[in-house]
Amino acid sequence: MDDLSFFRRFRLYKETVLHVLQQIEHNLEFNNDLNNSVSNINQLLTTLQFYATCGHQTAIGDFMRIHQSAVSRIISKVSQEIARLGPQYITMPNRQEQIHIQSRFYNIFKKSPAYFCSAVFNNLPMELKALNLMAYQRELKRYLTDRCDSGYALKSYLLTPLLNPVSPEEIRYNEAHIRTRNSVERTFGVWKRRFPVLAYGLRCKLENALTTIVATAVLHNIARRQNEREPPPPEYINFEQLQYLIGQDDIQPEAGHRVNENRIIHDNRRNLITNYFENL
């Protein structure tokens, strides 16, 4: 298969696939060659084909000439081995780094609150950006005063957008959220275009879905470190439909739910809008 066709079908360069294989193949070996056991490279390619499609294992089995049940076992096994590489390719700031980042963000916020939300995401390590949205928010919550979408409840550590901004300061406050959300959405859009199964949805057990998410994050970071470009649209996927699905995953403010909000927290958000965004 020529390089472009391979890249389009498996979403990684050949050299990158071999680089990944070298790190996990010792755990993919079968004890013997009975029953026509699948080779290490074909196990990895089967898994990459799953990540590169809408996730129909029967079609993947037909392409790889193995049974669907074998495809399922291979995907689970290989995904686990790739996910185990997580500590090498997905890192979080230690406590000292967290304090340093907090100080930088605080200085940015003091100087120009309107750009705070954009700075939060743009200054994060590449590895943190590659995590799924829930993990990103969970880790960010640990060391930042977070600002997120209104799909979440208003908390002391998480200030959500207003559902119906009216005044100029309220609009500026919401625009700060939009800048952050757009940065997050663009980043995860690149990730989902590389591995479309994330956009189409993982029809498998929850634990396998979580493993797949981590595994694709590892592969995405490896591809970034290898200076790979974004792959061309997959052969057997409608690209417009893929883009639509990625857009559907974005959290929109008007889709948020409202809960009984703590009055003090609500007042804190109002004070932020009044004292900072009103004066911009």
Q: 152-205: per-residue pLDDT in tens?
A: 566 666 677 888 889 988 888 888 777 766 766 788 889 999 999 999 988 888
Q: 12-50: per-residue pLDDT in tens?
A: 999 999 999 999 999 998 777 666 789 999 999 999 999
pLDDT above 60 for 278: yes
Kindly state the tokens that stand for 71.
């495809």
In this prediction, residue 236 has a pLDDT band, given cuts at 50, 70 and 90, of confident
Average pLDDT over residues 109-126: 47
Average pLDDT over residues 4-8: 95
In this prediction, residue 92 has a pLDDT band, given cuts at 50, 70 and 90, of confident
Kindly state the tokens that stand for 21.
């294989």
Whole-model pTM: value is: 0.70
Residues 43/78, Cβ–Cβ less than 8 Å: yes
Nearest to 208 by CA among 91, 71, 87, 90: 71
